[in-house]
Amino acid sequence: KISADTDLSSVIYATDTIIPVSNQVIGALKDTKQDVASILEQVKKDKQGIQTDLVLQYTSKFESAKRALYLTRLLHGYARTLGNSANKVIPMKELSGSLMELASPIIQLLQSTLDDSTKTIVCSLSTEYIAALCSMPMGDQHVKASKHILATFWFIYSLMHNIGDVVSIELLSNTFVSWIKNSSREQFDLVIIGFVEQAEEQAANRDSIEKEKHHLIFIQLLSLLFSASTEYQKAKLKRHIPVFIIKITLIAGKINSLKFLQMMLSLLDQLTVDESYRLSSFDLSLVLSCLIQVARPDVQKLKSQINRQFAHDLFTDICHILSNLMRHYKEQMTDVMPPFIGITQSLLHCFKSGHVHLVSGLNAKKHNVDSKNTPRTITLLSDFAPLNDTAAQQYSRLLKTITQKQHSYIAGKTNRSSQSVMKAISKHTPSVLVEYFTIQSNSTMSILQPSIKSALINALYEILDLCSDDDRSFIMTCLDAPGKLLFKEFYSNWKTNHKYSGQ
């Protein structure tokens, strides 16, 4: 409470400032619309492309417009704080109307300056505009306008991406995240529809080299959508995950960009680590199908784009995704173990190195190349084998997630006991040991570096823990004579140094 004798003569009330500022912003937005219209009218009269001098004449006015758009964002934030009382202080209807009326003129201006040296000036103005547009309180955004806002945002984001404007991209990304988080249910439904339509379009144009930048922008924004969504929104997104993964898989099967593959793996990592999506066995089968695209035969044409650091990053991403699947979806994975094991086997080949003393002369290089490019080898990584000790430790952790039982809180949510799940998983694990000893019995290339073998061996012991007598007989059947000898030695060491004796 304020005492009766308190002097309030010097107090400045927010409304006394906000009301005139709002009116000035509305006036500035209307002036901007007239300025843009004047430029477009002049271009129309001249019947030529937009002139650099013409835009430069309006540079100072565009700077003022950017400040007005920034103030618009602040007013929108203040309006959200006030809630239903906002209209008493800010003429929201007039402010929103003035902002929406700018959409078409700014897009036309942007399109007119695409090939002009002044496009940076107009792009900067457009970025501020879309940021202000997306910051509108939900009550002032008509539901049907959401699709138009998304299309406008997509267009401007694409242009910023193409010209490499990092600052604008960051601003737009933050704006998009905020817009998604604050969208109503109906608006979010329209956003999803917009993304599904984009997925269809990008997949349909997957053979076009000219569309590769569009593919990159699509997967960037899709990743932003998944990361920005609330728990309720994620439940809605879950229904469309199969469509998105299928379309991304189709694009990945044709794409000539390593950047796309890297972003694809990042998205799969993002999806599989977030348990909110509650992926089904079918969803996981699609994730694995998408992951396999990294190892498709024709991907060798991308080798010129890759270096050793990228190869290690690629390996790390694949291990993370596979570990996520085993850690969070062990029960669902029992239905899709064959492709999982196939990828896991392929990763083992990334640690092979040549037996230099056995392969010599002119055929040495050819022999090493042929040995590296076995059917299970991931072509993009083969040239950088053996990968380092860190990669071996990551692979070891991946194997250990296979052998670990489900956490009790996860097992409590499933219909099967942890024991029955592990029994189903263990049917497939002998194949990992078969692959390892097949590699080790090769006369020209095998896993030789002691530090790598040391990193792998304990995890392989844990794989053997899951194997029954029948499984061990199966392993022996699959190996040649040298492989059998190596496995017998491994088994003897396991019994001596690792096997639980019950004492």
Residue at 174: amino acid letter: N
Average pLDDT over the chain, rounded to an integer: 86
What does the alpha-carbon distance between residue 483 and residue 434 come to, in Å, rounded to a whole number?
A: 9
**Residue 124: which pLDDT band, with cuts at 50, 70 and 90?**
confident
Q: Is the pLDDT of residue 464 over 70?
A: yes
Q: Is the pLDDT of residue 357 over 60?
A: no
* Least confident window among 163-167, 314-318, 333-337, 354-358: 354-358
Q: Is the pLDDT of residue 407 over 80?
A: no
Per the listing, tokens 């990968």 go with 387
Contact 314, 415 (CB under 8 A): no
Q: Mean pLDDT: which of 153-157, 270-274, 495-499 is highest?
A: 270-274
Q: Is the pLDDT of residue 470 over 90?
A: yes
**Average pLDDT estimate for 168-191:** 90
What does the alpha-carbon distance between residue 132 and residue 366 come to, in Å, rounded to a whole number?
A: 60
Q: Is the pLDDT of residue 502 over 50?
A: no
Contact 153, 217 (CB under 8 A): no
Q: Is the pLDDT of residue 192 over 80?
A: yes
**Average pLDDT estimate for 279-307:** 89
Q: What pLDDT, on the 0 to 100 scale, is given for residue 414?
A: 59
Neighbours of 88 (CB within 10 A): 11
State the DSSP code for 254: T
Which two three-digit tokens encode residue 317? Answer: 């991403």
User: In angstroms, how far apart are the furthest CA atoms of the chain?
Assistant: 102
Can you tell me whether residue 329 is helix, strand or coil?
A: coil
Contact 159, 123 (CB under 8 A): yes
**Residue 431: which pLDDT band, with cuts at 50, 70 and 90?**
very high
Q: What pLDDT, on the 0 to 100 scale, is given for residue 303?
A: 81
Q: Which ranges constitute the DSSP H helices of 239-280?
A: 241-252, 258-273
**Pairwise pLDDT comparison (45 vs 98), residue with the higher score:** 98
Residue-range domain boundaries for the chain:
10-44+54-142, 279-354+375-402+418-502
What does the alpha-carbon distance between residue 480 and residue 477 come to, in Å, rounded to a whole number?
A: 8
Q: Which of 336, 348, 412, 399 is nearest to 374 (CA)?
A: 348
**Average pLDDT estimate for 358-372:** 49
Which two three-digit tokens encode residue 346? Answer: 């392929």
**Average pLDDT estimate for 389-418:** 80
The separation between CA 440 and the C-alpha centre of its own chain, rounded to angstroms, equals 36
State the DSSP code for 414: S
Q: Is the pLDDT of residue 367 over 80?
A: no
Beta bridge partners of 353: 446
What does the alpha-carbon distance between residue 256 and residue 262 come to, in Å, rounded to a whole number?
A: 12
**Residue 409: which pLDDT band, with cuts at 50, 70 and 90?**
very low
What does the alpha-carbon distance between residue 428 and residue 423 come to, in Å, rounded to a whole number?
A: 10
**Average pLDDT estimate for 408-437:** 82
**Residue 51: which pLDDT band, with cuts at 50, 70 and 90?**
low
Q: Is the pLDDT of residue 3 over 90?
A: no
Q: Which of 378, 413, 213, 401 is nearest to 321 (CA)?
A: 401
Burial of 502 (0-12, 13-18, 19+ CB in 10 A): exposed
**Average pLDDT estimate for 368-383:** 68
**Average pLDDT estimate for 420-439:** 95
Contact 1, 71 (CB under 8 A): no
What does the alpha-carbon distance between residue 158 and residue 308 come to, in Å, rounded to a whole number?
A: 30
The pLDDT tens digits of the residues spanning 125-134 come to 888 999 998 8
